[in-house]
Structure 1
Amino acid sequence: MLDENRERAQLAEMIWITGRAAHSGYDGEMNFDVESFSGLPVIGGGDVCGPDGCGPAEGAGTAGSTGTAESTGDADFAHPAIELSDGTSIPQLGFGTWRLTERDDDALAAALETGYRHIDTATVYKNEEMVGRVLGSSGLDGVYITTKIHPTDEREPAEVMAASLEALQVERVNMWLLHNTSDRNVDIWRAMIEEQEKGHTASIGVSNLSIAEIDELIDATGVAPVMNQFRLGLSLHDPEFVAALRERGIAPEGYSPLRATNLDDPHIIDVAQNLDVDPADVVIAWHMAKGYIVIPKSATASRIRSNAYASRLTLSEQHIAQLDRMERTA
């Protein structure tokens, strides 16, 4: 198991860095043949995850099956994806931009080059223009964009949305979240529904709201958020809260997964040593295995890459059960 996971990690890094994941693997310099690793599993190519678990999208291979990068044809991290209750899908792995500034173009560019296809920003991050600039110059189409409206913003929600669209250089975003709770929740939520009806956002959701606050929105408008983004890690895992969200058709999304986890916990250390990976890699892999959308953030290119590769790490049922025992230790 140690050697297999070490080889799989090396395989992933080599093929992703050289940008040859969907090709033969030979670049004229490394003499690297993907087919020589045909016995190693490639996880996540083309998967779509719904309330009942994850499975292959149409035309894709089975998640967790044995294959090669060439056989999946998956050259980025747009998959696996989570199917939301409104019929749209969101890449399960995202790139968080909290604390990235207008000068952090290189970090976002590195994320896109690595293969992230889901970018999370917000008006209060004050980096939407940077995100729009880097996305615009990337030449990429179909990158999933999430932004947020904060309740302390004194502008009308329609003005906030217009400013976000202009900064991001798009006609609509994929997801618009109510960033935090306040006594204006229902009023802002009504305005967000209107912006969705105008076609300015494909989906609407919330961030950092309790079940009671979410139910208030549903009772007042008849419209449920499709996602709740909140701080989630192995040390803050609340299965009852997650179950309540899923009962309402709301997908859980975790931010600050590494900050919300005690990386020195013996449960993580044991699994990491068993798989010959870093504890941080185990955290990302656990989120993926649990079907949680996860948006790790880093400004360091090497960590940006390793977070992405960790999303394809295989955890056994025994590993997951062992990690679940860490619940709410922080």
Structure 2
Amino acid sequence: MALEIPTVELAPGVALPVVGFGTWQITGQSAYDATRTALDVGYRHIDTATMYGNEPEIGRALRDSGLDRSEVFITTKLLPSQAGRERQAIEASLKALGVDYADLWLIHWPPSRGRSLPTWVSFLEQRAAGRARSLGVSNYDAQLIDELIRETGETPVVNQVSWSPSEHEPKFLDEMRRRRIVVEGYSSLKNTPLTGRRLVAIAEAHGVTVPQVVLRWQLHHDIVAIPKSTHEHRMRENLSVLSFELTADEIATIDTLRH
């Protein structure tokens, strides 16, 4: 039975689970096995991308899981080199995944100069055609996002960026919140020194691991977490960050690890 994972509403009827399963650098049979395990453990948010080269395996894992398509939130992403071929790209992703729509489709990186806006316009067309339920960007700054909003009147619902204590930027978070854009953080654990004295002390105080502390800290800042693992026990640990809370002082301490 799936865990109760809190969600954030991206659009009417589109609810994004705040803890998802990341699949970057997991390919082939490993991608299938890990995704099947993640779904069995209780994840209902799977993050992939054209660049990851694992959409067919993820689609097969979803079908074999026995879950209804509507139960699993699927994110995929457009390569910048596919700018100008948006429809072909999303159709190829949907075919590989074996689904009729993506719950969230992101521009993976800003395309070459001048291509972001036409790509975003094409994204809006694909949403209107029913191929994606919600749209966002990845690795964008506020200035680039404002161009999209100014020219189309449509705001990306998500900005997926690399995020960790060492990358913590309150100003960036404020800029996204003012625009009502949900921030998703990737590589949170990869970019964190997991043996840091202060992180270890906080983990020991709660009887949890340092990775769990980092993910819980991320959630306290309303940043969606998409940790990756091919090991079932770590998948379970990553989901269990929903079972404890950090104190305000602990959050503030982690915030300062950047400095």
TM-score (norm 1): 0.74
State the Cα deviation string for residues 88-146 of structure 1 (Å, max 9, x = none).
32000000010110211211111111100000000011110011000011111210000
Contact 1:186/1:216, CA 8 A, preserved across alignment: yes
Cα distance, 1:78 vs structure 2: 5.3
Task: Pick closer, same or farther for the CA change 1:78–1:145 going to 2, 3 Å.
Answer: farther
Alignment of 1:8-157 (within 5 A): 75-77=1-3, 79-84=5-10, 88-104=14-30, 105-141=32-68, 142-153=71-82, 156-157=85-86
Q: Higher helix share goes to which structure?
A: 2
2:143 alignment partner, one of 212, 216, 224: 212
Query: 1:316 maps to what in 2?
Result: 247
Give the whole-Å Cα distance in 2 for the aligned partners of 1:298 and 1:250: 27
CA distance in 2, matches of 1:236, 1:77: 30
1:101 and 1:191 map into 2 onto residues whose CA distance is 29
Moved over 4 A (4+): none
The corresponding residue for 2:163 is 232
**Alpha-carbon distance, 1:155 to partner:** 6.3
Gaps of 5+ in 2: none
Q: Percent same amino acid among aligned pairs?
A: 39
Distance 1:200 1:206, change over 3 A: same
Alignment of 1:157-176 (within 5 A): 157-176=86-105
What are the residue-to-residue correspondences of 1:142-291 with 2, within 5 Å? 142-153=71-82, 156-182=85-111, 183=113, 184-291=115-222
Shift of 1:313: 2.4
Number of aligned positions between the proteins: 254
Q: Gapped runs of 5+ residues in structure 1?
A: 1-74
Instruction: Output the CA distance in 1 between the equivalents of 2:234 and 2:5.
Output: 20
Cα contact 1:77–1:93 (8 A) shared by 2: no
SS in 2 for 1:274: helix
Larger Rg: 1
SS at match of 2:168: coil
Residues 104 and 132 in structure 2, CA contact (< 8 A), matched pair in contact too: yes
Alpha carbons 2:23, 2:48 under 8 Å: kept: yes
Aligned partner letter, 1:231: S
1:89 and 1:312 mapped to 2: Cα distance?
Answer: 20
Q: Output the CA distance in 2 between the equivalents of 1:145 and 1:139.
A: 16
Asked if the contact 2:34/2:230 (under 8 Å) is kept, the reply is yes
Q: Which amino acid aligns with 2:57?
A: M
Q: TM-score, normalised by structure 2?
A: 0.93
Q: Distance in 2 between matches of 1:98 and 1:316?
A: 31
